[in-house]
């Protein structure tokens, strides 16, 4: 079986934008309204000569009134176990309580988590994103999914982990 890589994180950090960027097609719905990805979207992609199965997941939050969203959240937790690698996405300018809860929860998966700081649209934002080093994930990559910044770097890092 091919390696399974899941993109996870709270709503609105840019998971679906990153998924589409890596896939090279707009398969996942992106939206400025949080909670727009309720289903898991999977696509096989190639990194050089190697294939991986990439999954976009619904945004996590502890509480929601939406039954559909509750189902999506439960499914995404089971994906964490299954995945060979987790791309945990946060955003440069905004660290919310929901992110901190995920940071704590993900310690159990430390060995397979890459922290992706998205919305690093400029070097100024990289500077702010440096704050995320304190959480001690073994790897941190600053990207802009929307503008394609450092996506090559991320692809290389992914390849190294296969």
In the complex, the smallest distance separating the C-beta of residue 151 from ligand GDP, rounded to whole angstroms, is 10
CB of 17 to Mg ion, least distance (A): 8
Q: Map the footprint of ligand GDP across residues 65-124, applying CB under 6 A.
A: 118-119, 121
Question: By 3-state DSSP, what share of the chain in percent is helix, strand and coil, each rounded to 5?
Answer: 40, 25, 35
Between 37 and 118, name the residue whose CB sits nearer to Mg ion: 37
Closest CA to 8 of 69, 61, 71: 61
Nearer CB in complex with ligand GDP: 12/76: 12
Please tell me whether 14 is known to bind a ligand: yes
**Rounded CA gap, 45 and 89, in Å?**
19
Site for ligand GDP in 19-38 (CB under 6 A): 30-32, 34, 36-37
Interacting residue with ligand GDP among 39, 42, 84, 146 (CB under 6 A): 146
Comparing every residue's Cβ against ligand GDP, the nearest one is 14
Is 35 annotated as a binding-site member?
Answer: no
Burial class of 36 by CB neighbour count within 10 A (0 to 12, 13 to 18, 19+): middle
C-alpha distances (whole Å) from 10 to each of 7, 25, 39, 107, 153 are 10, 22, 14, 16, 23
């Amino acid at each position: 079986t091919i390696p399974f890589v899941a993109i996870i994180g709270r709503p609105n950090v840019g998971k679906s934008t990153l998924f589409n960027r890596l896939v090279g097609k707009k398969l996942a719905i992106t939206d400025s309204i949080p909670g727009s990805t309720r289903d898991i979207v999977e696509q096989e992609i190639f990194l050089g000569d190697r294939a991986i199965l990439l999954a976009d997941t619904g945004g996590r939050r502890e509480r929601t009134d939406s039954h559909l969203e509750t189902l999506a959240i439960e499914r995404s937790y089971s994906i964490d176990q299954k995945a060979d690698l987790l791309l945990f996405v946060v955003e440069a300018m905004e660290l919310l309580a929901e992110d901190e809860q995920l940071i704590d929860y993900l310690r159990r998966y430390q060995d397979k988590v890459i922290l992706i700081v998205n919305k690093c649209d400029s070097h100024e934002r990289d500077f702010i994103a440096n704050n995320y080093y304190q959480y001690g994930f073994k790897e941190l990559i600053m990207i802009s999914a929307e503008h394609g910044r450092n996506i090559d770097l991320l692809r290389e890092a992914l390849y190294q982990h296969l």
